[in-house]
Structure 1
């Protein structure tokens, strides 16, 4: 009788880590929405504490030395991290004002902004099929935004702005890998994100660093620790499995966020959310397929 295997394959481990990261990020989003929407914590304050706690938790795992600070491209590092910080701030602002299901669906527009930026800024060749995938993705985003609805508010554009800024940060990372090591990129991200978040939290009317009560403090502590664990899970997943294989599992975060939104806040999404999300997910998978085909042709 053959004994059952005692461990999962690297691909299975990567998929499970990706799903676990999605579940943890869904809990992070719920904690942030609870702290900002229900307990009145200012979005910049929540963002500062979330990433401050995550930074403290992640530092022992980084293992990078001071030599990684050597760079000839400091302005590029600052711009890249600035895009990331802007995306984080807009994301938290969105969670403070719109339901989780709407915010998480719209943040999935980021790959389409990456494609647009790659064509316009990096002068990469974009096929007609990839442009069609972008158009279908934004049609899905428009259905979720529902600008024709009475429920539409300007705040719903915050997750869209976050998706665009995170796409810009991704493009900067892609461009900088030609001259910068992964250790240098990681170290500058960690070193600059918290001070920039602190400056935004100290801006007039931004809320400062004060957190109203132990419940809000606990929610932000949990959000920070889960952010660190989720980031570690993502890094581990990408280190043992192919990115193209893992990408579809990233979309599992949608039902996690929707389910927690229903349980925690009673945010029941309309049917249009599922239609719009289906278009976004389908178009993003098509986009991924086209990018893999182009990569094979280059090889």
Structure 2
């Protein structure tokens, strides 16, 4: 991922965010298969996914030493992890019942929370181009979801709530990048997530099954560690509000995986919504890239 940072802030941030989206699309596929097909309880899935991700991140701590983990922002780390825990639990519970394409369309509400919060709390400039791109992405998500015709169940609301808490997590991540390294942010998140997820999973049991289930959990954990690092790295080189439209690119990836693995075929309006999302993302990349060029 180091080579991404040599492309300029706009391009490198966008590519890192897209890479994270690809990784999370595979993670969502594994999560939905484990919870829907193998009947792994959602709280147990969340615990093992992030506990294994932590194990894959520990070599960095050993290599750089515990002194590199020093921080003067313990409260911000705890707040970030609290928001992430709630978002993870809601997201995994939603994936156990909601098709991937619908869950992803709902989670796309998160950029609105991030864009508003970035201007209000981080002092970032949220100009017309950013608002246009984020709004177009949101409209695309609403076309795909068609909330005026779908009956919303409690499970369908889980991804919406997860979007709010992940928006808070993104804002806190951006705030912490002013003084923390991407590696430190990743390990702190995983380190503090695991005990909380463990406590939440106790009611359904935390025993790790063998065979295919264990392989899925290990793969999900490894990919989660890589995806979290990519997001943290992206926020070190680009503004939070700017990066959000690129998060929309996970939609066509998740839709494709959902069709191939589960036969979750969205309605025809999905293609119009996806076109809006892609157009908005690349429009913003073009605008930011032009702004970086010398006069």
Q: Would the TM-score normalized by the shorter structure come out above 0.5?
A: yes
Tell me the equivalent position of 1:260: 257
- Write out aligned runs for 1:119-138 (5 A): 119-138=119-138
Q: Is the alpha carbon distance of 1:21 and 1:122 closer, same or farther for their aligned partners in structure 2, counting shifts above 3 Å?
A: closer
TM-score (norm: length of structure 1): 0.76
Q: Is the alpha carbon distance of 1:22 and 1:119 closer, same or farther for their aligned partners in structure 2, counting shifts above 3 Å?
A: closer
Tell me the equivalent position of 2:170: 170
Tell me the equivalent position of 1:226: 223
Q: Is the alpha carbon distance of 1:172 and 1:228 closer, same or farther for their aligned partners in structure 2, counting shifts above 3 Å?
A: closer
Q: Is the alpha carbon distance of 1:254 and 1:150 closer, same or farther for their aligned partners in structure 2, counting shifts above 3 Å?
A: closer
Per-residue CA shift, 1:127-150, capped at 9, x if unaligned? 344334443333233223322224
Tell me the equivalent position of 1:142: 142
Tell me the equivalent position of 2:201: 201
Q: Distance in 2 between matches of 1:121 and 1:18?
A: 22
Report the CA distance between 1:182 and its aligned residue: 4.4
Tell me the equivalent position of 1:65: 65
- Write out aligned runs for 1:253-292 (5 A): 253-287=250-284
Q: How many correspondences in the alignment?
A: 284
Q: Distance in 2 between matches of 1:75 and 1:195?
A: 17
Q: Distance in 1 between matches of 2:103 and 2:276?
A: 16
Larger CA deviation: 248-257 vs 50-59: 248-257
- Write out aligned runs for 1:1-299 (5 A): 22-62=21-61, 63-202=63-202, 204=203, 207-210=204-207, 214-231=211-228, 234=230, 253-287=250-284
Q: Does the residue aligned with 2:64 lie in a helix, a strand or coil?
A: coil
Per-residue CA shift, 1:186-235, capped at 9, x if unaligned? 44223212112212223x5xx23135664433322232233345556x37
Q: Distance in 2 between matches of 1:120 and 1:237?
A: 23
Tell me the equivalent position of 2:3: none
Q: Does the residue aligned with 2:88 lie in a helix, a strand or coil?
A: helix
Q: Distance in 2 between matches of 1:109 and 1:276?
A: 14
Name stretches of at least 5 consecutive residues in structure 1 with no aligned partner: 1-9
Q: Is the alpha carbon distance of 1:196 and 1:172 closer, same or farther for their aligned partners in structure 2, counting shifts above 3 Å?
A: same
Q: Is the alpha carbon distance of 1:35 and 1:279 closer, same or farther for their aligned partners in structure 2, counting shifts above 3 Å?
A: same
Report the CA distance between 1:103 and its aligned residue: 2.1
Per-residue CA shift, 1:143-172, capped at 9, x if unaligned? 233222244323223223323322211211
CA contact (8 A) 2:49 2:224 kept: yes
Q: Distance in 1 between matches of 2:114 and 2:243?
A: 18
Name stretches of at least 5 consecutive residues in structure 2 with no aligned partner: 1-5
- What do you get for the CA RMSD once the two structures are aligned? 3.9
TM-score (norm: length of structure 2): 0.77
Report the CA distance between 1:23 and its aligned residue: 4.4
CA contact (8 A) 2:134 2:244 kept: no
Q: Is the alpha carbon distance of 1:186 and 1:217 closer, same or farther for their aligned partners in structure 2, counting shifts above 3 Å?
A: closer
